[in-house]
Amino acid sequence: MIVMGIDLALVNTGICVLNNGVKYNGTFITSKEDEDIIRSIQIANNIISLIKKYNVEFVGIENYPYHSYPFGNYSYRIGETVGVVKYLLNQNDIEWRMVAIRAHKKLFTGNGGAKKEDMMERVIKLYGIMMNQHEADACSIAYYITQKQKISEE
C-alpha cells in the first residue's frame, strides 16, 4: 500500500510517501505574508498533486497540537487547514486517518515523547536518508499507518 504521512503546519508542512521504502519526502513552505486560507489552499493543492503523482492510497495526518504556541490561536488556525485538506481528500476519494502525535512517535522510536533529533536519527537508521524534522515526523506518521494496516489485515 502506498501511504502518505503529513506533518501539517502553516509554514513548513512535511510530507513523506512510503511504499517499501521512501518514495518521496519534502517540505512545503508557505509565506507568512499570505492569509491563512490562501496558505491552506496551497498546502492542500500540493498534497493532492503528490497523491496523484505517487498513486497514494492512504493518508495519515498528524493530529492537532493542543499545546499553546507563542502566537496564540495556532490550534484553531491549523484546524482550519486540516479541514481544507480533509475536504479535498474526501473529494478525491482518498482514505485518511488522523494520527495521535505520541502514538506515531512511540511506534516509530519507542518513545512517545521523542524529540526532533530522535525522529531524524530513526529515519536514517530505517531508510538510510536524511530528512528535516517536518519530513521525519511525516515519515513517522506514514510508518505508523503502514504498521497499523498490516495489523488490521492479519
24-35 tens-digit pLDDT: 999 999 998 999
**Mean pLDDT lowest for which of 73-77, 86-90, 112-116, 143-147?**
73-77
Residue 65 pLDDT grade (very low, low, confident, very high; cuts 50, 70, 90)? low
The pLDDT > 70 percentage for the chain reads 89
Mean pLDDT of 91-98: 95
pLDDT at 73: 62
Cell numbers describing residue 72: 496564540
Report the CATH number that the domain containing residue 28 is assigned in CATH.
3.30.420.10
Q: Identify any residues that bridge with 99 across adjacent strands, giving them in sequence order.
A: 62
Mean pLDDT of 108-115: 93
* pLDDT over 60 (residue 11): yes
Cell numbers describing residue 104: 506515531
User: Quick count: other Cβ atoms within 10 Å of Cβ 16?
Assistant: 28
pLDDT at 153: 47
Residue 10 pLDDT grade (very low, low, confident, very high; cuts 50, 70, 90)? confident
- 8 Å CB contact between 9 and 130: no
Query: Residue written as cell 507563542?
Result: 70
* pLDDT over 60 (residue 79): yes
* pLDDT over 80 (residue 149): no
Q: Where in the sequence is the domain holding 147, given as residue range(s)?
A: 3-153
Domain count, the chain: 1
pLDDT at 77: 75
pTM: 0.90
SS3 134: helix
What is the rounded CA–CA span in Å between residue 7 and residue 128?
20
Instruction: Kindly write down the DSSP assignment for every residue of 28-90, as one continuous string.
Output: EE--TTS-HHHHHHHHHHHHHHHHHHHT--EEEEEPPP-SPBTTB-HHHHHHHHHHHHHHHHH
Counting every residue written for the chain, the total comes to 154
CB-count exposure of residue 53 (10 Å: 0-12, 13-18, 19+): exposed
